[in-house]
Chain A
Amino acid sequence: MHDLLLDRPPWYVAGALIAFVVVGLMATINERIGVLGGFSQLVERAEGRSSSLGWKAWFLFGVIGGGALYALATGSWGGRASYAWLTDAIGPVGTGLLLVAGGTLIGFGAKTAGGCTSGNGIGGCGVGSRASYVATASFMATAIAATLLVRWLA
């Protein structure tokens, strides 16, 4: 079990599991997946724009819990994740600042586009929304172009 969880599942298994979540939310509570919406609801609650948390905030808490469950199941608390290529190049302070700036663009940009990789990329595209196709093509193209450009310049 432990080994199974340390190896990446085949992409078609993982894709089916993500679709299970997307379709499951629609089939049980008639809602379309979105993670950015959870962040947004927390901000709206904190600023007193809304008096209670919607389902998206609870979904976000679940995602955090899912990450914790994985770390517990594999004994990998702290994550097996890494920013080694960034910290090697620009140091820890530079990495931290880059992440805050990147996060700010993510928050503002995804709110403007009406969704992030989950809301537009898998949820919106999954129901055939043309706006989501355009948004997804825009963020994929920009992210790939920016990454390749930096690699080429560096």
Chain B
Amino acid sequence: MIRTAAVAFGVVFGFVLSWTGLADPSFIHKMLSLQTAYPYLLMATSIALTLTATRLLARGHARALLTHEPVRWSTLKPERRHVIGGSMFGLGWAMSSACPGPVAAQLGQGFGWGICTALGIFVGVRIYLRREVARARQQTPGLAAQAP
């Protein structure tokens, strides 16, 4: 059920990204060149509605329909990594005029260039995960002995 819900909401998300043109790099290029306000207004609307809806969910002590858990979420305090990672991500976003959601929608649309960006995302994630493992090993020397 959880899997089905995830796929269904994903389909709506990918469809809307395509319909709005957010999966079209030339439109994102216009956005980042400040030639259209559409994506910013869209994001602001979505954030405002989500802030309102989550407040209502919390106030009503709502439970998730499928998992029956109380609906809850965590918030984080800003750290250096949010600025550094965010800036790197922003640079990649400017270079490709695409980000992970739109890239996935591009793959579905059969827009071939999306394969290049997706490939890059996989490489970037892999580098991050490898570094994370290396760092964990440094901090706990015992782990290094167990590793193959």
Question: What interface size band does chain B fall in?
Answer: 35 or more
Residues 102-141 of B at the A interface (beta carbon under 8 Å): 103-113, 116-129
A150 to B84, CA, bound (A): 21
Contact B120–A112 (Cβ < 8 Å): no
Contact A114–B82 (Cβ < 8 Å): yes
Question: For residue B65, which residues in chain A have a CB less than 8 angstroms away from its CB?
Answer: 27-28
Does residue B66 face the partner (Cβ distance < 8 Å to A)?
yes
Question: For residue A17, which residues in chain B have a CB less than 8 angstroms away from its CB?
Answer: 12, 16
Question: For residue B113, which residues in chain A have a CB less than 8 angstroms away from its CB?
Answer: 81, 83, 95-96, 99
Contact B90–A141 (Cβ < 8 Å): yes
Question: For residue B108, which residues in chain A have a CB less than 8 angstroms away from its CB?
Answer: 63-71
Contact A11–B26 (Cβ < 8 Å): no
Q: A56-B6, A111-B125 known; A23 and B85 CB under 8 Å?
A: no
CB closest chain-B residue, reference A79: B111
A139 to B129, CA, bound (A): 21
Question: For residue B72, which residues in chain A have a CB less than 8 angstroms away from its CB?
Answer: 30
Contact A118–B95 (Cβ < 8 Å): no
Contact B76–A128 (Cβ < 8 Å): no
Contact B25–A82 (Cβ < 8 Å): yes
CB distance from A69 to the nearest CB of B (A): 6
Contact A68–B109 (Cβ < 8 Å): yes
CB distance from B118 to the nearest CB of A (A): 7
CB distance from A17 to the nearest CB of B (A): 5
A77 to B108, CA, bound (A): 9
CB closest chain-B residue, reference A137: B86
Contact B67–A30 (Cβ < 8 Å): yes
Contact B124–A107 (Cβ < 8 Å): yes
**What would 27 A/B residue contacts be, using CB atoms closer than 8 Å?**
A8-B21, A12-B41, A19-B50, A20-B12, A23-B53, A26-B54, A36-B125, A47-B129, A59-B10, A63-B10, A63-B11, A63-B17, A65-B14, A66-B16, A82-B25, A85-B29, A102-B94, A105-B92, A105-B124, A110-B99, A113-B85, A120-B86, A127-B54, A134-B78, A134-B82, A138-B86, A138-B87
